[in-house]
Structure 1
Amino acid sequence: MKYVIGVDLGTSAVKILLVNQNGEVCREVSKSYPLIIEKSGYSEQNPEEWVEKTTAGLAELVAGFDGDVHDIEGISFSGQMHGLVLLDGDNQVLRNAILWNDTRTTRQCQEIYEVAGRERLLEITKNPALEGFTLPKILWVKEQEPEVFERASVFMIPKDYLRYRLTGEIHMEYSDAAGTLLLNVAEREWSGELLGLFGLSAEFCPPLVESHALVGTLSAGFATKTGLSEAVKVFAGGADNACGAIGSGILSEGKTLCSIGTSGVVLSYEKRNDLDFAGKVHYFNHSEENAYYTMGVTLAAGYSLSWFKDTFAGEEEFVEFLTGVDEVPVGSNGLLFTPYIVGERTPHADAAIRGSFIGVDAAHERKHFVRAVLEGITYSLNESLEVFRSSGKTIDSIVSIGGGAKNDTWLQMQADIFNARIEKLSSEQGPGMGAAMLAAYGCGWYPSLKECAEVFIETAKTYEPIPKNVEAYQKLFAIYQQVYAQTKELNEQLREFRK
């Protein structure tokens, strides 16, 4: 039996999967590392932590593997998007990585619009200038740390830096490059126009490769430290959302993913490179060659639920916390929640907006509030689906993964609010599985990612929308959509009182 390894470099931990040719996860290792938060809005990590924890994780995985280590043929990567790693001329890290959830760059985003023009930026990159993206971070370092920027030779994304440390080879693949605001997404090349406008050289950007591209083999030193063979083939990998889509079988038109973790993502496969969503949703290159995906983001999806539990139910387990939610009728007896507790991304890119409970009644019990939180998260994700549908997309089947796929009541709620069939996978491994599939495809196990998905991915259960619930939720969703506009000014006024 042959094996591949999928490495998912997340924000809080690296997760490593050993997967065989049947798509079965044979071993799984996770190693956590800290965030560095110097002040409000800052979020950084030491790239050396990624290397050390991945090395330790791979060594642990190999130590527990009872087969022939030479049967492990390939390794590929998934990772957190947008983060900035700067290297000098000797390929040494110049400063901590600035992560995707760092929000210090509001002024740089405005500068990008002023210099490039909002419409032209959307034409080239298909995305608006948001604090999380990479170009604003580059401009912040250029302005605030000029001595660091002066020494910078090349920039990288987190998982690409990790892969460089394994192989000694520097590349960036298209799905992560699409999240930098420097890629011409349709033409699949670095934008000379944007590089010129911001005084950046072409050499500052790594060479571009496909996600399944073979980019090297393990260095002798890294092989020794982990116990892996130097012959292990290393493939480029993809951005976490692109790999999550691959690991969920989102590989053809009409396929859509709902992923609820700390944040929430609705992602839909696109074959065309010329759709226009006016920046309302993200539009990125997929990790499948010559494919794309559109994506909407709810910043506090699962986080809204965990915040509510931690605040009002202490150490209670989630299973107990959600007890009784299935008894509460659609609409939570007139209670509505908006999950804007850390601001919002799609379709309202607004760092100042905050959440609301509306319609609180003396008859409401905790279970009503819990159901209202679940419904509010799902309404927010549905806003992204409505943007997709308004562009002419047909969405009638959605694969649900993450925390939202662990509760039957919530899965049925998704079917009713999204008005679509919901599919729950029999084995859900997310981006790590997508990375493993890229390695399997790169190793030649399957002639395409789609054929790999037919073996690796299986639907366990489906949930069909219930017509009477769909009708009720359509009325409730219309009310939900009014809340943002009617609370925006109130939240602006409250901003000065937030500590």
Structure 2
Amino acid sequence: MKYVIGIDLGTSAVKTVLLSKEGNIVCEQAQPYPLSRPEAGWSEQNPEDWVQQTLSSLCQLMETSNVNPEDVEGISFSGQMHGLVLIDANGRVIRPAILWNDTRTTEQCRRIEKTLGDKLLTIACNRALEGFTLPKLLWVKEHEPELLEQASLFLLPKDFLRYRLTGNLAMDYSDAAGTLLLDVRNKCWSSEIAEAFDLPMSLCPTLVEAFEQTGTLLPTVAEFTKLLPETKVFAGGADNACGAIGAGILSEGKTMCSIGTSGVILSYEQRKELKLDGRVHFFNHGEQDAFYTMGVTLAAGHSLTWFKETFAKDLSFDELLQDIHLIPAGSGGILFTPYISGERTPHPDADIRGSLIGLDAGHTLSHAARAVLEGITFSLRESLEIMRQSGKEITEIVAIGGGSLNETWLQMQADIFEAPVVKLENEQGPAMGAAMLAAYGCGWFSSLRACAEAFIRPARVYSPNPQQVEEYQGLFSLYQQVYGLTYELNRQLTVYRR
């Protein structure tokens, strides 16, 4: 029996999975690490924590599974996007990593827009948002210039981890696309963008494909993890790209709905010259010469968690949602907008805040809970609409994450999205995608699509209910009005947020 390992380097923990050649999860482990918030809006981590916890997780994976190390052929990675890791000429970390959810760089984003103008979308294909890497580099250049002068290279989180496991430095295209320094369509670093901000091109690492081998394990790493030094290590990809691979989003019409803390609508794209004007993200896929479009709801699952912790703290999620199937579409006239942390798509607005509109004395907790789910799903549909307006046909949507755990919510997604929604038999998200990159890299399959056909198994398909679809069309139209009607109110309320 042969195996591969997928490593998913998340924001709060690292997850490792051992996958057999038949696509079965044999074993999985996870190890947490802390998040530091030294100032309001800042979000940092110590990259060495990623390394130590990954080594620990790999060691536990091998001990628990009891597989022969000779049978583990390859390892690959999925990683949290955008985080800035600076290393010196000796490969040492210069400062804590600045993460994707760090919001200190608003001023730098405006500077990028002013300096580059239309060239930003032409070259990098994305708007300047606080989460991206270039604004973080500019913040360090402005506030910690002595540290940037020491820097030999910038890396993204999973690339630093892979470097510490192999000694080799590289970055794949799917992760590089989230830096704002990559010429996305031409798959090369943009000297025009770097020179506009006086950043040396030498800071940018070598670019590779997500499935490309980037070394083997260092002897000390192999000894600690109980793996062999000759174990092949592959580049891996951005967490969303790997999530797409792990959900089989590898051909036209295939789309993914991932609901975790945030929510993502991601659709496979082959059209290189697609014009989206920055309304949704346009990134390189983990599959060679393919792309994906992606819209983001900042507080998807987070909205549901907030609602439960605020209004039903003593209930489990299952208890909170157990009666929502008894509530008709529209939740008895309640609309919820999930803007509790601002919004990303289609409104890149850090100041907008959520609304719960239409409450009356006859409403129950179940009415409000269903309204929260509907609002999250309406927000995600807004991303789908942008993609459809570009000419894309959405043939099916694969649900992963927390949104795939409740049958009523899955049917709601099919009705609101107006497309079949697929629940997978064994959903492992980005970790599965990372393992699939290793399986393909090892030569188990002729393509990632062939790997997906063998590894990914649908459990159930939820088809749109025509009557519910019609009901939700009217409700969605109302939902789309809430942002504009509450925009100015939220601006005036910002002075009271303390």
User: What TM-score range do you get, normalising by the shorter chain?
Assistant: over 0.9
For residue 70 of structure 2, what is the aligned residue in structure 1?
Answer: 70
For the residue of structure 2 that corresponds to 1:77, the secondary structure is: strand
**Shift of residue 362 of structure 1?**
1.3
Please say if 1:383 is aligned against 2:378: no
For 1:208, the aligned partner's letter is: L
Q: Take 1:179 and 1:433, find their aligned partners in 2: how far apart are those partners?
A: 21
Q: Aligned partners of 2:64, 2:341: CA distance in 1, in Å?
A: 41
Corresponding residue number in structure 2 for 1:257: 256
Counterpart Cα distance in 1 of 2:339 and 2:225 = 43
Partner in structure 1 of residue 3 of structure 2: 3
Residue 392 (str. 1) matches residue 391 (str. 2): yes
Q: CA deviation at 1:65?
A: 2.6
Residue equivalent to 2:14: 14
- Alpha-carbon distance between aligned partners in 1 of 2:243 and 2:486, rounded to the nearest angstrom: 34
2: distance between equivalents of 1:219 and 1:479? 57
Query: Number of residue pairs matched?
Result: 498
One-letter code aligned to 1:60: Q
Deviation at 1:313, TM superposition (A): 0.9
User: What letter corresponds to residue 30 of structure 2 in structure 1?
Assistant: S
**Corresponding residue number in structure 1 for 2:468:** 469
Match of 1:238 in 2: 237
Match of 1:6, SS state, is strand
Distance (whole Å) between structure 1 residues aligned to residue 364 and residue 320 of structure 2: 13
CA distance in 1, matches of 2:272, 2:91: 34
Give unpaired runs (5+ residues) of structure 2.
Answer: none
Post-superposition shift, 1:67? 2.6
Counterpart residue type for residue 213 of structure 2:
L
Identity, % of aligned pairs? Answer: 61
In structure 2, what residue type is equivalent to 1:186?
R
Q: Normalised by the size of structure 2, how large is the TM-score?
A: 0.99
Q: Separation in 2 of the partners of 1:91 and 1:73?
A: 27
Give the distance between the partners of 1:7 and 1:334, measured in 2 at CA: 44
Give the distance between the partners of 2:395 and 2:486, measured in 1 at CA: 32
In the other structure, the counterpart of 1:359 is 358
Asked whether the 8 Å contact 1:185–1:285 carries over to 2, the reply is yes
**What are the Cα deviations for residues 54-104 of structure 1, in whole angstroms up to 9, with x where unaligned?**
000111111123231110010000010000000111111000000000000
Aligned to 1:211: 210
Q: Which residue identity lines up with residue 160 of structure 2 in the other structure?
A: Y
Q: How far is 1:425 from its partner? A: 0.2
CA deviation digits over 1:451-472, x for unaligned, max 9? 0001100000011101111111
Task: Work out whether residues 78 and 243 of structure 1, in 8 Å CA contact, stay in contact via their aligned partners in 2.
Answer: yes
SS at match of 1:64: helix
Shift of 1:113: 0.9
Q: CA deviation at 1:492?
A: 0.7
Whichever residue aligns with residue 331 of structure 2, its letter is S
Partner Cα separation in structure 1 for residue 215 and residue 90 of structure 2: 19
- The alpha carbon displacement at 1:202 in A equals 1.6
Amino acid in the other structure paired with 1:430 = G
1:12-51 counterparts in 2 under 5 A?
A: 12-51=12-51
Superposition map of 1:293-372 within 5 A: 293-372=292-371
Partner of 2:94: 94
2:104 aligned partner: 104
Partner of 1:160: 159
Asked whether the equivalents of residues 396 and 419 of structure 1 are also in contact (C-alpha less than 8 Å), the reply is no
Q: Secondary structure at the match of 2:266?
A: strand
The equivalent residue for 1:151 is 150
Distance (Å, rounded) in 2 between the aligned partners of 1:89 and 1:214: 23
User: If the length of structure 1 is used for normalisation, what is the TM-score?
Assistant: 0.99
Deviations 1:266-306 (A, max 9, x none): 00000121101100000000000000000000000000001
Q: Find the counterpart in structure 1 of residue 488 from structure 2.
A: 489
Q: Matched residues in 2 for 1:330 and 1:62: separation?
A: 48
In the alignment, what sits opposite 2:412? Answer: 413
* Amino acid corresponding to residue 324 of structure 2 in structure 1: V
Secondary structure at the aligned position of 2:7 is classed as strand
1:448-467 residue pairs with structure 2 within 5 A? 448-467=447-466
SS at match of 2:65: coil
Match of 2:281 in 1: 282
Deviation, structure 1 residue 120: 1.0
In 1, the alpha carbon distance for the partners of 2:12 and 2:121 equals 31
For residues 36 and 68 of structure 1, the distance between their equivalents in structure 2, rounded to whole angstroms, comes to 38
Which letter does structure 1 place at the counterpart of 2:106?
Answer: T
Partner of 1:82: 82
CA-based RMSD = 0.6
Unaligned segments of structure 1, at least 5 residues: none
Alpha-carbon separation, structure 1, partners of 2:52 and 2:428: 23
1:53 and 2:53 aligned: yes
Residues 121-176 of structure 1: per-residue CA shift (max 9 Å, x gap): 00001100000000000000000111111111110000000000000000000000
Offset, 1:257:
0.3
Contact (CA 8 Å) 1:173, 1:238: kept in 2 or not? yes
Shift of 1:316: 1.4
Distance 2:218 2:90 in 1: 17
Q: CA deviation at 1:180?
A: 0.1
